[in-house]
């Protein structure tokens, strides 16, 4: 997905979601959201990864598809990459290889 | 519309394979050598590696050797293993299929067993080549779905597209199976609400709770490092994506591996063993899940991958649906459907219809990408199950 077109770069799956999904490689800066609106993305994020749609407090549920998919382990500022470094499962811990888990800014 | 090979039990096969089944790892080399010259002609290796007896493995092998896509079976035994080859051979013979058992220790070792096995397989392939397909209704087709190598695109493109194809198949009377209760963690409530009866809904919830407990004991969820590389952060997130494969039809039953769905409709397969945690992880890789759906009669599998699985399967063709457009660009020869184009504006419905049409074409004999590339993976390991309860299959 080209960032020079008018195509949306971030997908909002449900109105109540506090994260958006990258529809391709999204560079830092202003990114277009499906259904309208924009979000300032802190650092580049790769396809399929999530960014915070708004400020999220530590301990708050991360909501995607309109349902909780885990909890924030730290305060996450709007536009930041949301992943295993700042959220966790409410069920079983997530196993990652440090070498491959970044998928974006690593912020 | 589709055509299949008629079997004595009334089911029809969409392929006509000669299965060469090793009954312990020690017999696998001989089985593989027997199949080698006949791979292109439809001979395939399946088997069970363990030397200790296991009811689940016995049932799985009986179901797989009498699978509608199998036309004849050669059993390859070392001779001293615990697997009950007599019971298996009897079940196959009863199903009307040609069956022969080669016992390596009695046949004179590797070379003699391979020669004898090849002669038997060659004769069966010649016979099966003369078999004729007959018309087969969509209500006679059983389709499974699995996802493997998921990432952040799976739940947006490939999985919901398969869900739409499942809705159409179920609507036409086909039997559809989804599975991996360990990847439905967090989806219990929404799923239970789709059950045909409240009692079945409770069984669905219990199956996922069992999976959550089982994986918690093992210390790892059904989650691989590559899932995180592709943007998935937790098992709940992966589950919501995986759940989309089931579509939106009513859930008609809960089955366990080897149970045959009694009629058309949508079924959840509970793949997590019952009782205390034994024998390790429920399904150690994607082909273990495919084998279990085959044992419940699945003629073919819709496999959604995003990181890029290349596998196929013995016995039942695998249609690979690639959720991630970047992966599709790299591995297009291994893929049957490019669902990643949904991210650039193609509708879910268009891709869902493509999957539905391809399912019918493959059922009619069209080769999938993995079949063309010679993939015929198979794996079966130890498990133990209790029979399903009466609420699992409401009439």
A99 pLDDT more than 80? no
| Same domain (yes/no): B231, B85 | no
Axis-axis angle for helices B348-363, B158-171 (nearest 10) = 60
Cα-trace Rg, chain A: 13
Predicted local confidence at residue A105, as pLDDT = 46
| Assembly ipTM | 0.88
A39 pLDDT more than 90? yes
Determine, for residues B240 and A64 on separate chains, whether the beta-carbon distance falls below 8 Å: yes
A80 contacts chain B (CB < 8 A): no
In angstroms, the separation between the Cα of residue B292 and the nearest Cα of chain A is 25
Q: CA angle A62-A67-A68, nearest 5°?
A: 35
Q: Which two tokens stand for residue B354?
A: 């493509």
A10-88 under CATH 3.40.50.620, yes or no: no
| Same domain (yes/no): B190, B96 | no
| Same domain (yes/no): B124, B157 | no
Residue A50: count of CB within 10 angstroms of its CB = 30
Determine, for residues A95 and B226 on separate chains, whether the beta-carbon distance falls below 8 Å: no
Q: Which two tokens stand for residue B310?
A: 């290349």
A107 pLDDT more than 60? no
Q: Domain locations in chain A?
A: 10-88
- Most B CBs within 10 Å, among A92, A97, A106, to test the B interface: A92
Cα–Cα distance between B342 and B227 in angstroms, integer?
20
| Residues forming beta bridges with residue A19, ordered by sequence position | A52
Question: What is the strand order of the sheet A19-22 is part of?
Answer: A10-11, A19-22, A50-52, A81-82
Cα–Cα distance between A83 and A79 in angstroms, integer?
12
Report, as an integer, the average pLDDT of A57-69: 95
Determine, for residues A48 and B223 on separate chains, whether the beta-carbon distance falls below 8 Å: no
Q: Are strands A19-22 and A10-11 parallel, antiparallel or unpaired?
A: antiparallel
A44 contacts chain B (CB < 8 A): no
Residue A103: pLDDT band (50, 70, 90) is low
Predicted local confidence at residue A104, as pLDDT = 57
Predicted local confidence at residue A84, as pLDDT = 94
Determine, for residues A95 and B240 on separate chains, whether the beta-carbon distance falls below 8 Å: no
> For B94-124, what is each residue's pLDDT tens digit?
999 999 999 999 999 999 999 999 999 999 9
Low-confidence ranges of chain B (pLDDT < 50): none
Predicted local confidence at residue A5, as pLDDT = 64
Axis-axis angle for helices B85-94, B55-65 (nearest 10) = 30
Phi/psi for B208 (5° steps) reads -75, -35
| Same domain (yes/no): B82, B145 | no
Q: Which domain holds residue B42?
A: 17-130
| Same domain (yes/no): B243, B378 | yes
> For B283-311, what is each residue's pLDDT tens digit?
999 999 999 999 999 999 999 999 999 99
| Same domain (yes/no): B94, B203 | no
> For A8-31, what is each residue's pLDDT tens digit?
999 999 999 999 999 999 999 999
Residue A2: pLDDT band (50, 70, 90) is very low
């Amino acid at each position: 997905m080209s960032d020079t077109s008018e195509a949306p770069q971030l997908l909002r799956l449900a109105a109540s979601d506090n994260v958006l999904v990258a529809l391709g490689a999204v560079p830092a800066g202003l990114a277009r959201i499906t259904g309208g609106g924009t979000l300032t993305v802190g650092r580049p994020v790769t396809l399929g990864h999530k960014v915070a749609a708004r400020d999220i407090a530590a301990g708050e549920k991360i909501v995607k598809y309109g349902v909780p998919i885990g909890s924030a382990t730290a305060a996450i500022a709007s536009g930041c990459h949301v992943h295993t470094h700042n959220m966790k499962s409410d069920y079983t811990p997530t196993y990652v290889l440090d070498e491959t888990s970044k998928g974006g800014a690593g912020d | 519309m589709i055509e299949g090979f008629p079997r004595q039990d009334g089911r029809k096969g969409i392929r006509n394979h000669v299965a060469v089944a090793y009954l312990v790892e020690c017999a696998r080399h001989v089985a593989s050598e027997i199949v080698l010259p006949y791979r292109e002609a439809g001979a395939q290796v399946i088997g069970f590696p363990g030397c200790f007896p296991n009811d689940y493995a016995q049932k799985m092998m009986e179901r797989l050797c009498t699978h509608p896509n199998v036309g004849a079976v050669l059993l390859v035994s070392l001779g001293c293993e615990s697997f009950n080859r007599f019971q298996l051979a009897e079940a196959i013979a009863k199903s009307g299929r040609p069956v022969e058992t080669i016992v390596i220790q009695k046949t004179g070792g590797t070379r003699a067993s391979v020669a004898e096995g090849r002669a038997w397989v060659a004769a069966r392939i010649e016979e099966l080549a003369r078999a004729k397909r007959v018309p087969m209704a969509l209500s006679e087709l059983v389709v499974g779905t699995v996802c493997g190598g998921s990432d952040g695109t799976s739940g947006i493109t490939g999985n919901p597209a398969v869900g739409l194809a499942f809705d159409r198949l179920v609507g036409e009377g086909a039997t559809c199976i989804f599975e991996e209760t360990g990847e439905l963690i967090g989806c219990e409530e929404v799923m239970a609400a789709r059950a045909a009866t409240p009692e079945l809904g409770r069984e669905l919830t219990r199956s996922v709770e069992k999976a959550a407990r089982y994986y918690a004991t093992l210390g790892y969820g059904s989650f691989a490092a590559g899932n995180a590389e592709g943007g998935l952060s937790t098992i709940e997130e992966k589950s919501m994506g995986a759940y989309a494969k089931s579509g939106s039809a009513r859930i008609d039953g809960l089955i366990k591996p080897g149970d045959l769905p009694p009629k058309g409709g949508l079924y959840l397969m509970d793949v997590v063993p019952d009782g205390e945690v034994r024998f390790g992880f429920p399904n150690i890789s994607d082909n273990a899940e495919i084998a279990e759906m085959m044992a419940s009669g699945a003629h073919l599998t819709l496999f959604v991958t995003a990181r890029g699985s290349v596998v196929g399967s013995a016995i039942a063709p695998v249609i690979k649906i690639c959720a991630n457009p970047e992966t599709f660009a790299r591995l297009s020869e291994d893929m049957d459907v490019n669902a990643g184009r949904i991210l650039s504006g193609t509708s879910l419905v268009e891709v869902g219809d493509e999957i539905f049409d391809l399912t019918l074409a493959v059922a009619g004999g069209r080769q999938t990408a993995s079949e063309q590339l010679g993939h015929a993976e198979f794996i079966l390991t130890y498990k133990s199950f209790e029979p399903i309860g009466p609420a699992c299959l409401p009439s």
